[in-house]
Amino acid sequence: MSIRYLSGGLAFCVRMLPPAGEIVACGFLPFSLSSEKKVEEKFLELFYTYDFLTYPYHQIYCYYYPESAVLVPTELVTAGQEGLWLFEGLDDVKPRPVGDVSVCYLSTPLPEETKSLVTRTDSTLVQLFRRTLLVVELIPASFPALVLRLEQSRGFLASELLVLLEGNQLTLLAHRRGEVFSYRQVSLHVPSDEKSLGEEVLFYLFAQWQHLGLDGAIDRVALGVPAPDFAMEVVREEQAYAHLKELLAPYVQTVEVFTYSPC
C-alpha cells in the first residue's frame, strides 16, 4: 500500500505483490491547502473513510515533499547525521536552530544506488506516519516518476532534465544513462493562470539547463503528469506544460510529456 499527498488532496493505492503488481484499489480524498483542516487531520480522515487501509500490509510506503534536499554519495551518509549535509547557512530560506525537533532528516538511496537523497522534512508528519502505520517506508515524492524515467531512458545516450510540477512544488532532476547527477527543488509563487505558471517553470528550467551545460540539440526534457486516477487537479499542470512546450520548442529539440503513477 502507498499513500501520497498531492496538490489536490491525499491519494492511496493498494497493489498485489510483485511480479503481478496489479492495482487492487485506489482512491483520492480532496484536500486544499486553504482548508482549515491540517494535513494530519486529513490523513486520519482518509483511514476513517477507507477502513481497509487499516488492514495489515506486506509493505507500506508514504510519499512526502521535502523542505530541502541534496544528493550525497551513499557511502558518505551516516545514520543519525544526515542533517550535516543540509547546513543551515545564509542561503537557507527556512533557517532552523540546531537541535530543532520540529524537523527530521531522512536518507533514501536512489535507484542507481551510488547516491542517496538526503532530505529535511516536517517531523510532525513523519511521526504521524510511523505512529499510525507502525512499519512504513518514507520516500520522497519525486521517486515514482524518477524510477519510471530511469527505466524508460536507460538506452538514451543524451542527458534528460525531468520536470515535476505539483501545486506550488517544482522538482528538477537531471539524469544520464540511469544515473542521477542533479537535483533541485523550488517553491513557486503559483500564478493565477496556466500561462504564467508555465513561464515561471521555464525560468527555473532554463536556469538549471544552463547551469548543467545541457545541449538543446542533443539533450531532452521530460514533463511528468500524475495519472488522472490519482489526482483531481491535473488540468492546470497539463495546460501549463502545453504552454511550456511551445516556449521550449525553439531551444530544445526533444520535449516529452509523460504520465506516471504517483503512488
The total number of structural domains that make up the chain: 1
Q: For residue 231, is it within any domain?
A: yes
Q: For residue 44, is it within any domain?
A: no
- The three-class DSSP label of residue 260 is strand
Question: pLDDT tens digit string along 203-219?
Answer: 999 999 999 999 999 99
Q: For residue 129, is it within any domain?
A: no
> Residue 91: its pLDDT value, please?
47
> Residue 100: its pLDDT value, please?
56
Q: For residue 122, is it within any domain?
A: no
Q: For residue 186, is it within any domain?
A: yes
Q: For residue 220, is it within any domain?
A: yes
> Residue 233: its pLDDT value, please?
58
> Residue 4: its pLDDT value, please?
84
Instruction: Name residues whose C-beta falls within 8 Å of residue 260's C-beta, 6 or more positions apart in sequence.
Output: 144, 145, 148, 224, 225, 226, 227
Nine-digit cell string for 88 = 543551515
Q: For residue 158, is it within any domain?
A: yes
Q: Which residues of the chain have pLDDT under 50?
A: 90-93, 95
**What pTM, to 2 d.p., does this model score?**
0.85
Q: For residue 31, is it within any domain?
A: no
CA dist 104 and 122 (Å) reads: 6
- The three-class DSSP label of residue 15 is strand
> Residue 154: its pLDDT value, please?
79
> Residue 234: its pLDDT value, please?
64
The CATH number assigned to the domain holding 195 equals 3.30.420.260
Domain enclosing residue 222, as ranges:
144-260
> Residue 94: its pLDDT value, please?
52
